[in-house]
Structure 1
Amino acid sequence: MNDWHSWAAIAVFICTYALIISEKIHRVAAALGGAGLMLAIGATDDVSAFYSEESGVDWNVIFLLMGMMMIVGVLKKTGLFEYLAIWAVKRARAKPFRVMAMLMVITAVASALLDNVTTVLLIAPVTLLVCERLGLPSAPFLIAEVLASNIGGTATLVGDPPNIIIASRAGLTFNDFLIHLAPLSAILIVVLIAMCRFLFRKTFVYDEERAAEIMELDEREAIKHPRLLIQGLIVLTLVVAGFVLHPVLHFEPSVVALLGSGLLVAVSKVETGDVLKEVEWPTLAFFAGLFVMIGGLIHTGVIKEVSNALADAIGGNEAGGSMVLLGASAALSGIVDNIPYVATMGPITHDLVNQMGGAPDHVMWWALALGADLGGNATAIGASANVVVLGIAERNRQRITFWEFTKYGLIVTAVTVVISAGWIWLRYFALA
């Protein structure tokens, strides 16, 4: 990295990241300012920032979010989320920890079938209503669900975008992920629920009076527009089917989400302007700025240098190398978005696997997937789902700060990565 652009890009990224952490200015302003500086110093250019698949804005993520936000905006008008909130609380007998555990399991399972961003977009409104009904702070519940979504998304090929990249590079199938990662994901969810019982113990205050009021409610009365609900659920079902059938249809999730949102707006009588008001525009702007900044690091070769150094450290040692790859991927994915990181590490891991004479389902691929997916829990901007939930919380005046999320995320990441290291060692070396 002798080029001054590389060092300037690193300086811009570190300063911007420090501003986001300090919260001296709004994270959207920091990200857009950092993106502007990357363009100004020549670390990237307009073509690389806006058109490059490797180092530009990931428009698939942006339009996936926009499309799903529009669908969720329509469903909010039907009363569906109020219905689900009352139903969930009644099934959990209004006990706060039971409610949290139920929502976490639902989130984890849904994240394995959908992508984790779509899942939190659907679950967050329900959570806000549940907490309002029970008189509880929503931040612990939202944080717990994001952590569960990132862990649940680890289980399948479609659960987290890095998994799709890894599957394409390694030639892995949906069943390969189920066999190798789904059992571990289930174990980690159980561990997470147990940890949340301790981490958020001060939150679980049972209000007998509120509980009694909710138990007397009829959730069916919450549905305000049955016709619109049916239309919305049909479209949502089609969208989910489109996500699951991605390997067959070859439609990107963003295309499916945009088709679904367009269809729902067209067939319903909801005003387009009202639907667009439900889109979290600041969140989308934050993502765009973040992508441009990370693109500057890719364009100048910074991430490539880091990846090459990691490859040199691994060498031909399978056991030690898998542990290094797991830990380094977790650490780096908490700082930069795991999508460009995995895209950069994919070819390098492929070469390492070939040098080791490994099969397509070699342990190195699972170490990369686990590190990238679980590392996303480490910080408030480590994964797309984290940023989305922080945006939803802020819009509903339930702001979650960077450190409020990160202090829990770091603990969960450390524990889950250590357990994953033990899983890798036992399954692929000790018991192989």
Structure 2
Amino acid sequence: MMLEMPEHQEEMQCNLEFGKIKSLQILLVEKKVGFLRSPATLPNSLRVLEWPGCPATSLPHDFHLKNLVILDLSYSYFGWDKPLENSKVLRHLIVVGCKNIRRIPDISGFHNLTKLCVGECTNLIEIHDSVGSLLHLKVFCAEGCTKLTIGLSRIELKSLEHLCFPGCSSLVMFPEVLAPMHKLNHVDLGGTGIRNLPPSMQNLKGIKVLSMGKGQMLEINESSNFFQNLPMFFPNLETLYLQNLDITILPASIEECHSLKFLHVTNCKKLQEIRGLPLNINQFYAANCSVKANSLILKLRQAIDSAAMRICFLPGREIPELFDHSSGGNSTDKSIEECHSLKFLHVTNCKKLQEIRGLPLNINQFYAANCSVKANSLILKLRQAIDSAAMRICFLPGREIPELFDHSSGGNSTDKRYNNRNRISTQLPCDG
């Protein structure tokens, strides 16, 4: 059974007695569907109960979970003041945004639970240690629980794949990892108050995505062991987010993270020096940092030469010397054409850029908005890219479409065919 809002109606009041529908297995209630009072009874035949905004602070006393597989009471008045009845069949327990929940009680009786989501429970203070020993749990999310101070003291979750605590600003300890958890591949600790990572984290060697940052009190600097431990603790790490941290130096030891492909240090405003980048790095984001782009020359050149680098967001507004410009930072040299794997090139807001002498033939997207270079000076290079059938998106400087596009109806039309073959999308700034 699904209860949803009638078309063109903002709210609906219902007063159904669900307990009388003995064979009901699925009950889905839209959040906007209002009830005159909390349900007195629910049928024990239910297998799926999804009721966001449910007005009840607890489940009916005579409702048993023996058949329930999915329980979703998100953004409801549910308080979880006492443990729920044990269940061997419950798989998903979702109570996101429940302001009345202050503690997660003992749930050791949910032997087959695979998903537990308690995010945005802003009054949640404590999570019972029984959560840390659910052998079949795959996803545990508690994002945005700003008052959470008593988290798990230990975990042994051999099936866990996703662990998420972003925005838990009062959480200061990461649990001890009692046994290898090879299936865990994603850990998000951004915005927590965690001060240090326990040595037992080396039991999490399967992690591929690690996120730290924004409010993090964890000591991450050259003298700490964080970067030195990365290659040993997380040999399979592919993505590392370190945004909004007070790091000053990215040490050379990060080069030992041979599987790392995506590195984000955006908004690390105290970052002044980057001494190493993994050779296999694919995307590197360092926007809004204090580090000078030209200090990255050697490391960027190595990554580009290895044909690994695809996307690179650099700090500052000047083109680094990597591109061999020879006229005071105002042009890019033809040597960039040798970056045969380069498909996305962004030189947006490089206001001193006046000349582009080369573009790789395989370039797919080219962004040059808000530069001083004249669009018509790109005709030959753009023509080559279009002839190679590679170019798809092109953001050009200035307010006129270059002669390359043979436009015939004013200077502001876009998306013209070139030689009746390849359609590309062009965009120019337009007068307000």
Report the TM-score, using the length of structure 2 for normalisation. 0.19
Larger RCO: 1 or 2 (CA < 8 Å, sep 6+): 1
Q: Which has the larger radius of gyration?
A: 2
Instruction: Please state which structure has a larger fraction of its residues in strand.
Output: 2
Instruction: Please state which structure has a larger fraction of its residues in helix.
Output: 1
Report the TM-score, using the length of structure 1 for normalisation. 0.19
